[in-house]
Structure 1
Amino acid sequence: MPMEIVLITGMSGSGKSVALNSLEDAGYYCVDNLPPELLLPFVTLEQEHRASRLAIAMDVRSATSLPQVPALLTKLRQQGIIIKPLFLDAATDTLVRRYSETRRKHPLSQTMPAATSPDLTRALVDAIELERELLNDLREQAHVIDTSLIRPSQLQGYIKEVISVPGSQLTLVFESFAFKRGIPVDADYVFDIRMLPNPHYEPELRPLTGKDAAVVDFLKAQPDVDLMCEHISQFLDHWLDAMSRNHRSYVTVAIGCTGGQHRSVYLVEELARRFSARWTTLKRHRELDAG
């Protein structure tokens, strides 16, 4: 059985500790803040110990050596090791609020010229934006999860989904969301379906969701809903093979309506059903999953 490594990177304050704890509960041997220079020796040592599942967290504290990581992951893949890169992200205002609530210092705060300024919020924002720049290459090669509006229990559930899928093929993630709560930062493609007929205005359908039979029947009877689903399907059908050939591991398609309860949920369920026969497919309902 080949070794599997989940590499967790992401923005400071985005939930990497929650992710690592979730993986530890799932039976992974976990290491936090491993310097990239030690990645290959560490994996060799664990191979000698016959470890099969590792979870490794790296962050911006290793900024000077982070550019080495993509080449190191290529070497590990050439050894037959399954790599599942996971990048946790969050909106800047969310990260600022989390740091303000915990009174923690950002790892890069002392390196910023504005760190001595009385405008501490501006200094924190500058540190966050620098961190985004330093981590951009790792983000581009990973499965991104936006933790801005989700609870720790949701994040744990999403991580369990990610580690359950095969690591050697493209995984397609469909995510419903409410525009009124913001666009997910983890989306590769965003489709706005707020122009479609809204079950919210039918009193008997308002308390239901896009998973309920009555709402499904209502939306299936709307020609524009079917047309929108067909157009999105045609777009993905045309481009997914090319993305797979380009070694993309994950593609996240976000479908948004006003409340994230009816139309977007229905289309995510329908699109996942259509594409699951060919691609590894995951479904997420940001507003519904929040309970």
Structure 2
Amino acid sequence: MAQVVEEERELEHGDLVVVTGMTGAGRSTAAKELEDLGYFVVDNLPPALVRDVVRMVDESHGPDQSIAVVVDVRSGSFFESLREVLAEGVTHRRTTLLFLEADDDVLVRRQEAARRPHPLQAGGRLLDGLAQERKVMSDLRGHADLVIDTSDLNVHQLTARIARAFGTEERLALKVTVVSFGFKYGIPVDADYVADMRFLPNPHWVPELRPRTGRERDVSDYVMSQAGAAEFLERFVPLVVDVGRGYLREGKRFMTVAVGCTGGKHRSVAMAEEICLRLSDHGLDAKATHRDLGRE
């Protein structure tokens, strides 16, 4: 097999990425990563509908919304129409054709592991289907803007390659949601980490603070002044930062940190806001949200 040449292009918002390539080469993985990067993704799209999808996204999300469509041999005899779409261009968007491929022995192992027949296999062998697919795909591969050979790539390595090619600095940043909650209402099911603030005195028992919330300065000052509060923040925030770096290395760009107290009104709210501020100081894209505020 000829050596694959990769040319990574710096993309802008509003681009259209057409993902295609060999069956088993990683189209679904690429599509999932593009979706995580903020692209509007449509899988198994007939090429004739590409313009319709662009028009729909323009109307519903605006022309700056990036789009990725996955097209492959499941669409039938589509290659001629796909070449026409790419040659004519799609309205105002710059279109990039991403082609994924791999060696036959790798594709065979992946297809056998998935226990799926090749769409062009018909009644023959899996290798027959792959040979037919390569023949049909050869011209399209030659026109690809970026070719990635996934033969020696695992899922994490492929997602990293896609992120490097199509991600922006904003899209690649770790996004941390710090959510406050009340234990009496249950722990958030989507939490990656849970911190318990019930070791701090409860402002609920201070009459002038009881009706207020942790978002107000007097409550926040009360919580932060308690013994152990500063020490907790000094240890917990660097831990989240370090784990976040590991998440990014593994291609995971979303983290949910849950901060709880009894009712989710005072201590957890104040701490969630402070944790969010400190994570932002470390350069993380952090946002605080308060699940149970107002339930009492």
Structure exhibiting the larger radius of gyration computed from Cα positions: 2
What TM-score results when the alignment is normalised by the length of structure 2?
Answer: 0.49
More helix by share: 1
What TM-score results when the alignment is normalised by the length of structure 1?
Answer: 0.50
